Structure 1
C-alpha cells in the first residue's frame, strides 16, 4: 500500500474513531441491559402475570376493554391497542390527545380473555425506560436520535478503515498473536486488534441496524405521507368522525381479510399511523421472521367497512427486520446471551482503543509502524 493511501486510511480511522468512541461507550453500555429488557421485567415483577385460560374460553370484547382503560384515565382518548407476544395479555395506550408522544402516554394492561385490569408499571417510567431514552435519543427527541445515527455511521467507517489497516499486521504475525513480553502498550494493541477483528461481523451488523433504526421516524412519516396521503384524498373535506364504530368488529374484519396472520396492534385515528378516518389493524405472521413484518388493514371508523390493505414498502420492511436484529430478539434467550457477550467484548475494544490513544506516539511514528507491518490499527476502536 502506498504511503499516501496508507496515511489517508489512517486519518479516516483516527478521526472517525475519536469522534464516535465516547458515544459508542454510551450506546453499548446502555444497550447491554436493554437486550434483557423482557427478562428483567419478569424478574423484577414489572411484567404482569396472567392467569391461565380454560380451553375454548372466548376473548373479551375489545370495546369493553377500551372502556375499562379509559375509565382509569378520565379525559384521555384511546391511541393504540395491542397484544402481548407471549401471554394472553393486551394493552391500551391512552393520552390527552390523539398525537400524544410516547413519554406522555398512559398504559393499561388487561387479560385478553377475562378482561381483568392487571397491575403493571407504566412503560415510560423507571430505570429501563431511562436507559432506553439514553440509548435511542439521549432525551433530545428526533435530533438526538439522528445524531446517534451519525455516530453509528462513523463507527461503521472506523470498522472499514480499521480492516484496511489491519491487513499489513496480518502479513507479519500469526492470527491471534499476543506479544506480552515487550511492553504493556503492545500487549494491549494486540488484544485490541484481536478482539476487534473477531467481533467485526457482529459490530457491522449492530452498527448498520442501529443506523437504520435511527431513521424509524422519518421513514414512518414518509410511508404515512405516501400511503395515507392517497387515502386521505378520498376523505378530503369530510369532517372528522365523532363516533367510532366497534373496534372489536374491525379486528374481526381484519382477521377475516388476512386469515394467515394475527393482529399485532391497532392504531386509532389521529395517531399518524392510520389517518384521521381509520382504524389501522396491523397484522403480522406467525413465524420468527414474518411476525416482524406488518400488513396494515384499514377500517373506516365511521362505517366499520374495510377500506384498504396497503403493502408496506421495502424500506419499511428493512426497518422492521433490523429492529429485532439490533437487540438479538430473533433466537430467544440463547441469542440474547450471545449478543450480550459480544457487547461486552466490544466495550473492551472501545476501552482499549482509548487507552492506546492516550499512550500513542506521533502520527509519523505510527505510519512507519504500519508501513513496516509490525503493528497496525484494528477495526472498531478509538484511533491511537
Structure 2
C-alpha cells in the first residue's frame, strides 16, 4: 500500500473511531448486564412463573381465551385489550397488555394462568428499576426514535472503523508474527500492539454485533414501512368502512388462524386498533417451535366481526432480518455458553476502545511537546513510527 493510501485509511480509521468511541464504550458497558438480563431478572425476583396445578385439574380442558381475557379485565375493568402473548418456554401463562386505548404507551401487563384463567401477577415493565434504566440507555439514550437512529449512525461509524482497521493491519502483519506484542520499548507501542491484536480477535464479533445493532435501531422505521405497505395491502378491502361495534370471540379467531397456519403456534395476538392489526382485524402472529423459527412470525389477519381469516402471508425480508438480529445481538441463541462468550468479547472490545482512545491522546501530547530527541535515539524512534 502506498504511503498516500496509508494516510487516507489511517485518517478514516482514526476519526470514525474517535467520533463513535464514547458511545461505543457506553453501549458495551450497558450491554454487559443486558446479555444476562433474563438471569438478572430471575435473581431480582422479576420472573413470574405459573403456580403448580392441582391434581384434580390436570385432566381439565383449558379455559377459553375469552375467559383468560375476562380474568385480566377483572383486574383493570376500564382498560381495553391491546395484546396477549405467550413465551415459548412458558405455555402455562398468558401475558395480557391493556391500556386506556389501543395505542396507550402507559399500558399495564397482567399474567393469567392459561390452565385455570386465574390471575398470577403483574410483571414489571422491561425488568423495572435499574435494568429498565440500562435498557433505555442502551437502546435509545432516552430519546425515542431519534436516539435509536443516532446510535445507528454511531454503529455505522464503528463498522467503518473495523473495516479500515483491518485494511491498516494487513500490511503490518507482513512484518510481524500474528499476536506479537512488543514489550520493553515504549508503553504506547505495547498498547498499540495490544489494540491491534484484540481488534483482530474481536473482528467477526464486532462486525456481527455492530451490524445487528444498526438493524435493531431501525426497528421503528421498518415497522412503519411494513404497516404502510404489507398491512395496508392486507386490509385494502376494508378501507373506508367503520370499525365494528362488537368483536367476535378471540377463541374463535385464534382457532381459525391456527387452521390457516398448520404446524405453527400462537406467539401473540394484536387486538383491533393496535399497530400490529387494523381497526377491523385481530392480528394473530404465529411462529414455529425450532430455535430459529420460534423467532420468526407469520401474521394472520382475522376479521374482528366474523372471526374469518382474511389474509395470511410471510414477513418481508427486512423484518425477518430484524427478528433474527435482535436475539443475535445479545447472544440469546446458544444459552449460557454463548452468553459467556459474548461477555468475554464485550470486555475485550472495551479494551480495544479504551486503548484506541489512549493511543490518540498520547499521540496528541507527543505532537504538542517540543522535539528534544538525542541523536542516538532518532533511528529507534523512526522505526517505531514506521511500525504505527
Q: TM-score, normalised by structure 1?
A: 0.92
Partner Cα distance (2:40, 2:75) in 1: 26
Partner Cα distance (1:8, 1:60) in 2: 67
Could you list the runs of 5+ residues in structure 2 that have no partner in the other structure? 372-380
Give yes or no for the alignment of 1:223 onto 2:217: no
May I ask how many residue pairs the two structures share in their alignment? 371
How many Å apart are 1:371 and its aligned residue? Answer: 9.9
Partner Cα distance (2:242, 2:170) in 1: 65
Partner Cα distance (1:370, 1:217) in 2: 52
In the alignment, which residue of structure 2 is the partner of 1:106?
A: 108
Of residues 275, 278, 282, the one that matches 2:278 is: 275
In the alignment, which residue of structure 2 is the partner of 1:20?
A: 20
In the alignment, which residue of structure 2 is the partner of 1:85?
A: 88
In the alignment, which residue of structure 1 is the partner of 2:77?
A: 74
Give yes or no for the alignment of 1:340 onto 2:343: yes
Partner Cα distance (1:112, 1:370) in 2: 73
Give yes or no for the alignment of 1:236 onto 2:239: yes
Give yes or no for the alignment of 1:167 onto 2:179: no
Give yes or no for the alignment of 1:140 onto 2:143: yes
Partner Cα distance (1:122, 1:73) in 2: 16
Q: What's the RMSD between the two structures over aligned residues?
A: 2.1
In the alignment, which residue of structure 2 is the partner of 1:115?
A: 117
In the alignment, which residue of structure 1 is the partner of 2:331?
A: 328
Partner Cα distance (2:383, 2:248) in 1: 73
How many Å apart are 1:351 and its aligned residue? Answer: 1.2
Partner Cα distance (1:59, 1:203) in 2: 46
How many Å apart are 1:349 and its aligned residue? Answer: 1.1
Report if the CA contact (8 A) 1:168-1:371 is conserved. Answer: no
In the alignment, which residue of structure 2 is the partner of 1:379?
A: none
In the TM superposition, what whole-angstrom CA distance separates every residue of 1:202-249 from its partner, at most 9, and x where no partner exists? 000000010011111111111111122123321122111221111111
In the alignment, which residue of structure 2 is the partner of 1:95?
A: 99
How many Å apart are 1:187 and its aligned residue? Answer: 1.4
3-state secondary structure, aligned to 2:125: coil
Quick one: higher RCO (CA 8 Å, sep 6+), 1 or 2? Answer: 1
Partner Cα distance (1:92, 1:172) in 2: 62
In the alignment, which residue of structure 2 is the partner of 1:153?
A: 156
Structure 1 residues 371 and 50 mapped into 2: Cα distance closer, same or farther (>3 Å)?
Answer: farther
Give yes or no for the alignment of 1:375 onto 2:384: no
Report if the CA contact (8 A) 2:46-2:124 is conserved. Answer: no
Determine which structure has more spread, i.e. the larger CA radius of gyration.
2
How many Å apart are 1:362 and its aligned residue? Answer: 4.3
3-state secondary structure, aligned to 1:172: coil
Could you list the runs of 5+ residues in structure 1 that have no partner in the other structure? 377-384
Partner Cα distance (1:251, 1:91) in 2: 15
In the alignment, which residue of structure 1 is the partner of 2:378?
A: none
In the alignment, which residue of structure 2 is the partner of 1:265?
A: 268
How many Å apart are 1:169 and its aligned residue? Answer: 1.8
Structure 1 residues 199 and 280 mapped into 2: Cα distance closer, same or farther (>3 Å)?
Answer: same
3-state secondary structure, aligned to 2:387: coil
In the TM superposition, what whole-angstrom CA distance separates every residue of 1:173-193 from its partner, at most 9, and x where no partner exists? 111111121121111111111
Partner Cα distance (1:183, 1:111) in 2: 65
In the alignment, which residue of structure 1 is the partner of 2:32?
A: 32
Pairing 1:176-255 to 2, within 5 Å after superposition: 176-255=179-258
Partner Cα distance (2:286, 2:274) in 1: 17
Partner Cα distance (1:326, 1:169) in 2: 31
Report if the CA contact (8 A) 2:189-2:384 is conserved. Answer: no
How many Å apart are 1:359 and its aligned residue? Answer: 0.8
In the TM superposition, what whole-angstrom CA distance separates every residue of 1:118-138 from its partner, at most 9, and x where no partner exists? 234421432212111111111
Question: After the TM superposition, which of the residue ranges 112-121 and 31-40 deviates more from structure 2?
Answer: 112-121
Structure 1 residues 171 and 340 mapped into 2: Cα distance closer, same or farther (>3 Å)?
Answer: same
